Structure 1
Amino acid sequence: MAHDINLQQRELPKDAHSTVTLAGLFERQARDRLANTALVSGDVTLSYDEVNRRANRLAGLLADLGAGPEKLVALALPRSVDMIIAMLAVTKAGAAFLPIDPGYPADRIEYMIRDAGPALLCTTKAAVLPEGPQRVLLDHTDVTIALRGRSDANPAGAPVAPAGLAYVIYTSGSTGKPKGVAVTHAGLAGLAAANSERMAVDADSRVLQFSSPSFDAIVFELLATFAAGAALVIPPAGTLAGDVLAQVVTEQRVTHAVLPPVAAGSVAAEAVPGLRSLLVAGEVCSGDLVARWAPGRRMINAYGPTEVTVCATMSEPLSGSAAPPIGQAIPGAAIYVVDRALRPLPPGAPGELYVSGDLLARGYLQRPALTAERFVANPFAADGSRMYRTGDLVSWQPDRSLVFHGRVDDQVKLRGFRIELGEVESVLAGHPSVGQVVAVVREDQIVAYVIPAGDAKPAPAELREHAGRFLLEHMVPTAYVTLDAFPLLPNGKLDRRALPAPEVTSSANGIAPRTPAEQALSAIFIEILPVSEVDTASNFFELGGNSLLAITVIQKAREAGLAITPREMIQNPTIEALAAVARSISQ
């Protein structure tokens, strides 16, 4: 490690492979530990050998259909065994994968496919997707028959180049459209080495597959698992938090997990004594969370945007109750803390964090100007390398670890999700009744302040429905405030501190809950919201609900025998509407 006051850089361990791919890691384990359990999903258990053979057959089919180097294959699949095998198969074929959550809004899926231009789309018959590239329906009889006749041997193609495209992940974009981050194989070696060093995963470990496939944390989970020859535990579809998360960890004997702090905070640490190692990432970790979780287990705090191959820094094992640092550079990363003139700053002085090294992404798909803005020339190196401007404020501590202080722009992290408030504002501004809009985060929820385009004030339910057509669930504002004008500072800029708090109001029709589903939901609303009575027109968000409380509603509804998805909560926020879409499940 370099210890220059202005630089922190870590080289790869001498025994680390300079080029790592997901497929390469997996094939190594399939050779050395072929009988070890690789994937666990409910009652299904597959060995490394079985998964490898399945992925090889699919890789051959994809290659024959046009998958190859620098080609994208979209994977519109839920969290599942099929998704993991498909990701391995795409990498084995030499192509790059583009994960798409089939539960995303149709407009967003259509945009991602049109913007990325994948050569193929792997999905299932049940998925409702817009027109696009050639589809490979993994559960179709024709595909099943075609796979049976294929070789299950490892592909014999040319070695993958470190600079080759590995995957594309779409993140929130400040211009109103999500942007695709193109990540190469070059940074995977450092990430795999960091996982091995900090998480202490071994061949007997069972790693939770918590992340949505559409977020890059899944790459972290797969590397941690496959580098050690461990088992990846894939939970059933649905929201993982609270009692549901604790139950999965306990029943599936999970030993290692990567969780956002909000998910970890929803579980009592003593409820999962078998969880030996916890890595938290995605948002600020509090000292209270460390005090709850660190005793008796290994707890690590990690940091990194998608543009630096998931992770740039990791802390040492945490203890105590102080707010933890985000750690030091992982292998293959170089860290700089600078002022606005790119002058290095001493310990204790907050500055913007820049990252360089093999882990830097190639850039943004179809966005050369934005790529040039965020990936800049590295003035501290003479090799023509680049730095990524993170937009995060940090400072050095005396021990050379970093402390996170916040953002320098309008990007926020809410419950572990990266959100560009500009994208929220852009979508809402597309509503015909909206003249101007400002989105802010208040008390752990997104609030939209709207100035109408005319005399008519758009109803909150109308705006929420409009936002839900394109934005992901965690990006849809939970409160809407209509104003005649925005408060301004003397210099003419928006005075965000003067924006009024949203009032807690609710529609009412005086009709008492009638059906068993309405009665169950009414009891849940009264239990978790600051109200003493509700009727069938009571609106969850108007009563003060937010996306975090929505998870609690979903959990308690399941306990009452009702299945509800997060998107159904957003699109049907009244008791009557929610009861109408809720599905009955066995108790």
Structure 2
Amino acid sequence: MTDLVQNPVDLVARFCRAVRQDPDRIAVRGTDGELSFAELDQHSAVLAGALTARGVGVGDLVGVSLKRGVRLVVSLLAVWRAGAGYVPLDPQYPSERLEFMAGDAGIRILLAEPARQSASTGVEVLDPATAAGERVEVPVAGPLDTAYVIYTSGSTGRPKGVQVGRGAVADLVAALETAGVYAPAPRVVGWNASVSFDASVQQWVRVCRGDTVVVLDEDQRTDPVQLRGVLDAHRVQDLDLTPSHWELLRGCLLERGQDRPVPRLFMGGEPVPERTWHEIAQATADGLIEAVNLYGPTECTVDAVTAWITGDGPHIGHPLPGTRAYVLADDLRPLVAAGEEGELYLAGPGLARGYVNRSALTAERFVADPFAADGERMYRTGDRVRRRDDGTLDFLGRVDRQVKVRGYRIELVEVEAAVASHALVTTAVVTDCRDPALGSQLVAYHLGDESLTADELRAHCAAVLPEFMVPSVFVAVDAVPLTVNGKVDWAALPAPDVAPADAEIVEPCSVVEKLIAEVWANVLGRDRISADDNFFALGGHSLVALRVIGRIKRELGVTLRTKEVYQHPELRELAAFVEARLTPASDIS
């Protein structure tokens, strides 16, 4: 193990070193402009001064609620330069959820655009574009001081904030460098993940080691044509994505091109399906791409175990340098023989500090490491794994009711609490199922007033949950089946049916309605589509919506945004919206 992993350098110090080494190199690009390392240094230092002037310092938390772009990188770096930690507050989240997160974290300063108002009282909104301050010296922040707090789904019905120290983030970067996942020389990196998703950390912090970060906006990251254009224009070499996102972008990422750099893909967030693994492994053998599978819970600072995607079948690989991985039985007995299955525990410098204001939960999940010196902890992941003969780890599933949907970690208990909070619902249980066309879907079974419709429940959940946590299917039941032990009998729940056979079909009429119905039937895996069908009631989600958008663009020349599909979810409404955008010369015959 190198000295860098044993004693990683704070990333703000590494950024300052990168500025001195190559001040004119482009540090960050976005649709809102670009900054050299010298310019990013100046902008972030001035904003850090503005935060310092308002009393922000080591140990404080600053909320960040900004669109994807250069200003977001400036703001995150400025928070660190002020000695504080950042808390991402996605402006697309429901206001009630944002208010809870801000209050739970004790935020009093929010970096946001002028139009953004904080729902919490006593929070000052500071516009990073106009905030002025004196350039200040970087305060001395230790490895245990907070770098960020990212909120994940919680098993109590409320999100929980994972608090990660600066030393853990520095260790992550050093370990990925030592393992060869990050190339030694500076690269051009595409920032793809939402800042509210922990995968974003190992993307944007690349600027601290001298890499150029290209911030992809929502259209660029989800439209294969636009993404290919950005990758080519800026010669992007590294790109993070989930396996679900790969399915959308695989065509453009596998294109051969003269003088194009071979992209290195960082796959994470959810298990890589066997078919996807073999496809990527073959593309790697053909020299089209390189790809690494990254595994790690938020509580272990993004990545803890890695594997290059080559050879036979999916696996998660070996621990990063400095990380200790234990496969343990229920009594914490080590399982060392190949083929033995147990729960994965992780230890090392990458462990988070714990959960904000949740000391009991922190003590439950971060337990004493009996295999190390006194005082060291290990994190109970809740993931079932087994070792192969060569020591690599296979991921087998969960030991609890946590699931992954499109890369997002979801506690089903939190979704159940949201469904059950409707005044007309008496009981709710939620599970996940695999749809051949749509991937993992959440299904909510509910008891209560028979007059309650699925659309009403969906709207209720959308008001309190992020989009990725809203169930795709709502099923009314007369009773929740129980086992002899009084637990939910999941196997006895009725199979979800999003398109009942006896449902009345309103035939699409116009050419555009018929085209959209054909596209929906294809992407949603349905035999027939009614003109009054709701895209999301049929199980559609943001990634599937992008396939609809692409087809409409190809067939009609009309460019839609994902949010416009959300605004017009009914087929007839969406068709009318598209028809209004058609030019007189458009051929829709």
- Give me the TM-score of the superposition, normalised by structure 2: 0.88
Match of 1:70 among 59, 75, 85: 59
Aligned AA (1:306) = T
Aligned AA (2:278) = A
Cα 1:128–1:368, aligned 2, differ >3 Å: closer, same or farther? same
CA distance in 1, matches of 2:527, 2:274: 34
| Alpha-carbon displacement from aligned partner over 1:165-188 (angstroms, at most 9, x marks no partner) | 111000011111110001001212
Cα 1:537–1:234, aligned 2, differ >3 Å: closer, same or farther? same
Moved more, 393-402 or 90-99: 393-402
Match of 2:77 among 77, 82, 88: 88
Q: What is the CA-CA distance between 1:159 and the residue it aligns to?
A: 2.3
CA distance in 1, matches of 2:507, 2:395: 50
Paired residue secondary structure (1:381): coil
Match of 2:274 among 287, 293, 311: 287
Moved more, 421-430 or 253-262: 253-262
CA distance in 2, matches of 1:334, 1:205: 29
| Alpha-carbon displacement from aligned partner over 1:428-463 (angstroms, at most 9, x marks no partner) | 010111111111111134343433323x24211111
Cα 1:414–1:485, aligned 2, differ >3 Å: closer, same or farther? same
Match of 1:493 among 470, 473, 487: 487
* Structure 2 contact 12–208 (Cα < 8 Å) conserved: no
CA distance in 2, matches of 1:93, 1:210: 26
* Structure 2 contact 29–215 (Cα < 8 Å) conserved: yes
| Alpha-carbon displacement from aligned partner over 1:333-376 (angstroms, at most 9, x marks no partner) | 22111111111112321111111111111111111111111111
Percent of aligned positions that are identical: 37
The answer to whether residue 22 in structure 2 is matched with residue 27 in structure 1 is no
Q: What is the CA-CA distance between 1:557 and the residue it aligns to?
A: 4.8
Number of residue pairs aligned between Structure 1 and Structure 2: 561
Gaps (5+ residues) in structure 1?
1-10
Cα 1:556–1:101, aligned 2, differ >3 Å: closer, same or farther? farther
Alignment of 1:500-579 (within 5 A): 500-505=494-499, 510=506, 512=508, 521-522=516-517, 524-531=519-526, 534=529, 536-557=531-552, 560-565=557-562, 569=565, 572-578=568-574
* Structure 1 contact 393–404 (Cα < 8 Å) conserved: yes
* Structure 2 contact 114–125 (Cα < 8 Å) conserved: no
Alignment of 1:362-377 (within 5 A): 362-377=353-368
* Structure 1 contact 207–256 (Cα < 8 Å) conserved: yes
Gaps (5+ residues) in structure 2?
none
CA distance in 1, matches of 2:351, 2:457: 38
CA distance in 2, matches of 1:571, 1:353: 42
* Structure 2 contact 188–211 (Cα < 8 Å) conserved: yes
CA distance in 2, matches of 1:81, 1:529: 36
Match of 2:476 among 475, 482, 507: 482
Moved more, 339-348 or 294-303: 294-303
Q: What is the CA-CA distance between 1:402 and the residue it aligns to?
A: 1.4
RMSD: 2.7
CA distance in 1, matches of 2:40, 2:185: 16
The answer to whether residue 344 in structure 2 is matched with residue 360 in structure 1 is no
Alignment match, 2:111 = 122
Q: What is the CA-CA distance between 1:101 and the residue it aligns to?
A: 1.1
Alignment match, 1:256 = 238
Q: What is the CA-CA distance between 1:156 and the residue it aligns to?
A: 2.0
CA distance in 2, matches of 1:475, 1:408: 20
Match of 2:291 among 274, 283, 299: 299
CA distance in 1, matches of 2:107, 2:582: 37
Cα 1:534–1:390, aligned 2, differ >3 Å: closer, same or farther? closer
* Structure 1 contact 363–375 (Cα < 8 Å) conserved: yes
* Structure 2 contact 206–212 (Cα < 8 Å) conserved: no
Match of 1:214 among 192, 196, 204: 196
Moved more, 78-87 or 183-192: 183-192
CA distance in 2, matches of 1:272, 1:43: 29
Alignment match, 1:191 = 172
* Structure 2 contact 30–217 (Cα < 8 Å) conserved: yes
* Structure 2 contact 345–380 (Cα < 8 Å) conserved: yes
| Alpha-carbon displacement from aligned partner over 1:263-311 (angstroms, at most 9, x marks no partner) | 1232134226634311211111133323322322332111111101111
Moved more, 159-168 or 244-253: 244-253
Cα 1:508–1:68, aligned 2, differ >3 Å: closer, same or farther? farther
Alignment of 1:122-201 (within 5 A): 122-127=111-116, 129-132=118-121, 133-139=123-129, 143=130, 146=132, 150-151=134-135, 155-196=136-177, 197-201=179-183
